[in-house]
Structure 1
Amino acid sequence: MDNIDMKQIQWFPGHMAKTRRLIASNLSLVDAVVEIVDARTPLSSQNPEMDKMTRNKPRAVLLNKCDLADEKTTQLWINYFRSCGKEAIAIDCKSGKGIKSIISSIKNTVLKELMEKRQRSGMSTSAVRLMIVGIPNVGKSSLINKLAGSKRTKVEDRPGVTRTKQWVKLDNNTELLDMPGVLWPKFEDQDVAVRLAFTGAISDDILDIETLAMKLLVYLANEYPDSLKERYKIEFTSEDTGLELLEKVGKKRGMMISGGEINTERAAITILDEFRSGKLGRITLESPPQKEQLCQE
């Protein structure tokens, strides 16, 4: 991603190993698996072990937080997932965008054959059961609450808060199985880990916040320079380091401590908070793989 040194990120709480077993043992109870990803990091926020864990179950991908992501890039990601044989829908749990069409879209695409088979055999009223999966803090509980029209599950802005599976009945025709968020044991690609850290999918408690903010600033300076300039009213060049960018933001915001020193920790926290809340504009952190690259098997 850049040459800013950062301690290797690994985060795999014990309860997440249990989640992997829960997913495997409950597959037979559901008709399809719905994976929620972050629209700003669609590939990085996909668990690379999910295909193996869910085996041959029909799959759909929901790109949540699409209101925070670059709209044109989101469409490219939708095209990519569909080319890989997975239905993809852009949604935003906070605004409600795309929520109403999720169930019908899944029934008409990945479950089309099943629905037609049930119709022919007189079982059209049988409930469709969907397993909801995704990494921590990607919006599973918020989605289910939106679909259910009430607060059925506990929602917190902390990664890994859902610890056990729970069934939620939407109506007589649809039931959802909410699974705890699950990461994977080892990040082979640290750029993936850093992108997840940018969005808050990995707990800030284990991270070097200042280094993380510097890496984000370097990315924004290269990919979204206008957004960075507009938000913080700073000038910079391609030669500026992450530390220099961080200090410019801190100085511009008046984040000073005794002796005229810039409070870079406070500036870093502000930058990450403002990125995650969308105050820097609609930003996506990765683009779809090139055509010559194969879809995940």
Structure 2
Amino acid sequence: MSIQWFPGHMHLTRKAITERVKDIDVVIEMLDARLPGSSANPLLAELTSGKPTLKVVNKQDMADAARTALWLAHYNAQPHTRAIALDASVTAPARAIVAACFELAPLRGGMVKPMRVLICGIPNVGKSTLINTLMGKRAAKTGDEAGITRNEQRIALADDFYLFDTPGMLWPRIVVPESGFNLAASGAVGRNAYDDQEVALELLAKLKHAYAPMLEARYRLGLSASAIGALHDDELLEAIGRKRGALAGGGAVNGQKAAELVIADFRSGALGRITLETPEEFTRWLGAGLQADEARQDRKKSRLPKARKPDRR
């Protein structure tokens, strides 16, 4: 299954970013620390090309600390880019982004040349929570549903620091299948864009190898890490559903309820601090995804009718 979600308001966001970025000094892209590569928008990189970028790896308190360190090193090694990790609800780390922006654009500041910052990110990544933390009040709507913010907002964080908030935006085509599942697991795509059971199975396929002890601690399956890793994904989902009482008539496991339970536990952090991808893994996925998409485009072109030659009679 290929997961895709690009509702109409995202086209408007794309246009708004294209116009706004002309007058912007620094671009902040917020990422989900549990899936930093998958939550980085390639379309945004294209739209903001040439602008200094601050990668804010958000929700670090829910992510694997060792893997977060790998991602910070990965992004900090890129030109004109800085990366910091934070939990958007914590005031002190959140304010560090203001200092980071002035480091990226040291010639800005003061009433004559105020800092102009565009903050972007995928839906449900925590932008509004961060803005409210910076402002010390409820300046932006928040929620756990993708697509809460629908219009651009201009917010003055200081007399010489203006922040432009945009609605969360994905990209028109997700070419990395693993990213589609990771985004769905995190709640970044609309509920009607994916099947819960398929997403839960893909999620468990990752967790049973990298985080098997956490699965055992949460669901009390009575299995060793190696035994959990050896289970088929369907078997693991069934075992979790049976243990947690996600049952249908006759004592059979209700796959839908079991899937919803697993996804909810991941999103809430009940499973523990988890990161679904490393920079090395994502680079490999991206290469394969781009190659597959190129082949798809070639097949599409080959099916187009050939242009008729002009009649020279």
- Structure 2-normalised TM-score? 0.85
Q: 1:262 aligns with which of 246, 253, 256?
A: 253
Deviations 1:196-238 (A, max 9, x none): 1111111222211012111111211011111111111112443
Instruction: For structure 2, list consecutive stretches of 5 or more residues without a partner in the other structure.
Output: 288-313
Aligned position for 2:273: 282
**Percent of aligned pairs with the same residue?**
38
Equivalent position amino acid for 1:173 in 2? D
Aligned-pair distance for 1:67? 0.4
Does residue 197 (structure 1) correspond to residue 184 (structure 2)? The answer is: yes
CA distance in 1: counterparts of 2:98 and 2:201, whole angstroms: 40
Q: 1:150 aligns with which of 96, 115, 137?
A: 137
**Secondary structure at the residue paired with 1:49?**
helix
Aligned-pair distance for 1:262? 1.1
Aligned-pair distance for 1:124? 6.6
Q: 1:104 aligns with which of 82, 99, 102?
A: 99
Aligned-pair distance for 1:96? 4.1
Alignment of 1:1-297 (within 5 A): 7-85=1-79, 86-96=81-91, 98-108=93-103, 110-112=104-106, 114-115=107-108, 123=110, 126-234=113-221, 235=223, 236-289=227-280
**Secondary structure at the residue paired with 1:56?**
coil
Equivalent position amino acid for 2:267 in 1? R
Aligned-pair distance for 1:161? 1.8
Aligned position for 2:299: none
**Residue 27 of structure 2 contacts residue 119 of structure 2 at CA under 8 Å; is this kept in 1?**
yes
Aligned position for 2:296: none
Q: Is the helix fraction higher in 1 or 2?
A: 2
CA distance in 1: counterparts of 2:277 and 2:10, whole angstroms: 26
**Residue 31 of structure 2 contacts residue 40 of structure 2 at CA under 8 Å; is this kept in 1?**
yes
**Secondary structure at the residue paired with 1:100?**
helix
CA distance in 1: counterparts of 2:149 and 2:74, whole angstroms: 30
CA distance in 1: counterparts of 2:252 and 2:92, whole angstroms: 44
**Residue 90 of structure 2 contacts residue 133 of structure 2 at CA under 8 Å; is this kept in 1?**
no
**Residue 91 of structure 1 contacts residue 97 of structure 1 at CA under 8 Å; is this kept in 2?**
no
**Secondary structure at the residue paired with 1:238?**
helix
Instruction: For structure 1, list consecutive stretches of 5 or more residues without a partner in the other structure.
Output: 1-6
**Secondary structure at the residue paired with 2:13?**
helix
CA distance in 1: counterparts of 2:213 and 2:195, whole angstroms: 26
Deviations 1:171-205 (A, max 9, x none): 21211100111111111111111111111111222
Q: Give the aligned CA root-mean-square deviation in angstroms.
A: 2.0
**Secondary structure at the residue paired with 2:167?**
coil
Equivalent position amino acid for 1:39 in 2? A
Deviations 1:125-144 (A, max 9, x none): 64211100011111111111
CA distance in 2: counterparts of 1:264 and 1:289, whole angstroms: 32
